[in-house]
A and B are shown apart, each in its own frame.
Chain A
Amino acid sequence: MRDSKRLAAQYLTMRRIRAFEDRAETMARDGKVTGAVHASVGQEGIAVGVCANLLPSDKITTTHRGHGHCIAKGTSPRAMMLELFGKAGGTSGGKGGSMHIADFSVGMLGANGVVADGLPIAVGAAQGEKLLGRDTVVCCFFGDGATNRGPFMEALNWAAVYRLPVLFVCENNSYASTTRTETVTAGPGPSARAESLGVPAFSVDGNDVAAVDELAGRLVREIRAGAGPKFIEARTYRLHGHTAADAGAYRDAREVEERWTSDPIARCAAELRRLGVPDSDITAMDEAAEREMADAVAIALAAPWPDPRTAFTDVQDVGAPV
């Protein structure tokens, strides 16, 4: 019997992510958000199901497609939207944009513009936490495309060798940019690669938030108890383009249409109804999510630009440009 309160909270977070992503993409197409936006529409269940099992003191790293992970870990969507607009008050003061959102106050150690570079950083964060005597779990999100870069192999090997408290989460959405990942990938896939490096791997339907929640909950408990690294391969699908500017012409329209029938948010709403949650509660959550993100956009539109002098701050202490 699934806990409807826990699931409802996860539904709300997924809806907030969706509402954020939809607006971020619209604002990118309107030219208000000037940099690339990689929305996680369709993949929200993974961010939410995993982060629901992390403590505020736990850490995460993510990728170019990281908005959902940030929101699920507790980063303020207002500060994130300001960052996308390049405005003062953004998570990085407007110096990073979508691909460099970080919020160290909630353990969000940074998105990354370089595919696979978050993995070594995550294992190092886990090693550092261990050295400092803390029982932190570090969770590292990355895409299927990242499994073809060397740091993927290095970091998994490293985590296994030092038995580090890392949860690797591969969001397998079948695409790396415009390329179907399987057409450029040998062997049976991410889980088999992880297993071959001594990291136990578990496959899950990433569009079933409750299933992700359950699996991640068990693995995070084991990792925190000292079991060493674990690997989740969450099967999912990127329902929108690679970026807001990508119409996705390389995909068959029927393929996308078919995948929309497995939208994790619609599936979660159906499950809530089945558990007896009234429609009015679900609608109220939808409205709250939309309102919150509409406010975030209004605030970002009205916000001032950063002080131009900050282009030269936080470069370095020794030999700084100003």
Chain B
Amino acid sequence: MSQLTYAQAAMAGLSEEMRRDPRVWALGEDLGRGGVFGQYRGLQQEFGPQRVVDTPISESTIMGAAVGAAMVGTRPVVELRFADFALCAVDEMVNQAAKARFMFGGQARVPVTIRQPVGMWRSSAAQHSQSLEAWYVHIPGLVVVMPATPADNKGLLKASIRCDDPVIYMEHKDLWGLTGEVPDDADVTVPLGQARIARDGADVTVVTWSKMVHVSLSAAAELAKRGLSVEVVDLRTLWPWDRTAVLSSVAKTGRLIVVQEAVLTCGFGAEVAATVAEEMGGQLKAPVKRLGSPRAPISYSRPLEDRVRVTVDHIVDAALTLARA
């Protein structure tokens, strides 16, 4: 085990996979200088400019080229910089990467890992702060991964690179500096589609992912002081998502809160809530509760930005309300 930041953990995972498999390569803007968040630092020095490729600001072609390169047998890791800019490559993700295998009757495989950092950070405003994971969960053919911890950012990235499907890999910008214990073993990966019980509890289940795992854990600690035992389920992968882990947790607690940073409307939380309602409506002790951002663009000014954040207080209030129901 080593103490690594979330960014260092991803770097360790990527460099291990590049050493292990010469078909793995990375492409994106500014990677030769370490990438905008330093998550590629030193990689071009080790692997050279053919395998850590500095690209023009051509998101459509970064993504489209990765599809072509994947179809001939390489395993590209695509860096799209911000989920907001990845929108310039949605066509290539949705119409090409996600569908090539199916549309060509199984002849193609598109093993690309598509990194697109998400989330509110600090004063990044409406075009550098979005969490758009639900868009991709909607698309057959894609896998959607959202690591919350340094260990997961290594293990899930490695698993994504080894996966033969196109994987949308969303790191949270506010987590780059988060430190934690990370396995050193290059063979350790985190399986895609398996949730993690981040905290055990008996009274309320909180299902969440990405940065909201940490906010939910803080809320759970606060609620423990008030006598409420909260279980926090970190989904880690949104497609496929671990229904079994969620349903068995809710079977135990009888109460569910889904917490997401993204806009609440049509967010992934709605999928979790609807599934729980369909599968175990009669067994719930209280109605399902969803927390997420109001349907407004994200502001620049700190007090305005804070208005759309889901906070510890929101989760505490929601849990107490549910417990009283």
Contacts and interface: CB of A to CB of B under 8 A. Distances in A.
B106 A93 contact: yes
Nearest to A105: B107
A119 to B, nearest CB: 7
**How big is chain A's contact interface, by range?**
35 or more
A261 interface: no
A135 to B, nearest CB: 13
Interface in B29-51: 50-51
Interface stretch (B67-75, B124-132, B178-186, B275-283): B67-75
Contact of A114 (B55, B76, B91): B91
B100 interface: yes
B58 interface: yes
B107 A132 contact: no
B60 interface: yes
A319 B65 contact: no
A278 interface: no
Contacts of B163: 317-318
A92 B103 contact: yes
B58 A132 contact: no
Nearest to B65: A124
A112 B64 CA distance: 12
Interface stretch (B136-144, B255-263, B299-307): B136-144
B60 A96 contact: no
B140 A315 contact: yes
B165 A96 contact: no
A90 interface: yes
A201 B165 CA distance: 37
Contact of A318 (B50, B67, B193): B193
A125 B69 CA distance: 4
10 contacts: A109-B68, A110-B103, A110-B104, A114-B95, A128-B70, A155-B61, A158-B58, A314-B102, A315-B140, A316-B141
B56 A316 contact: no
Interface in A93-125: 93-96, 100, 102-104, 109-110, 112-114, 117, 119-125
Nearest to A110: B104
A59 B68 CA distance: 10
B66 A318 contact: no
A151 interface: yes
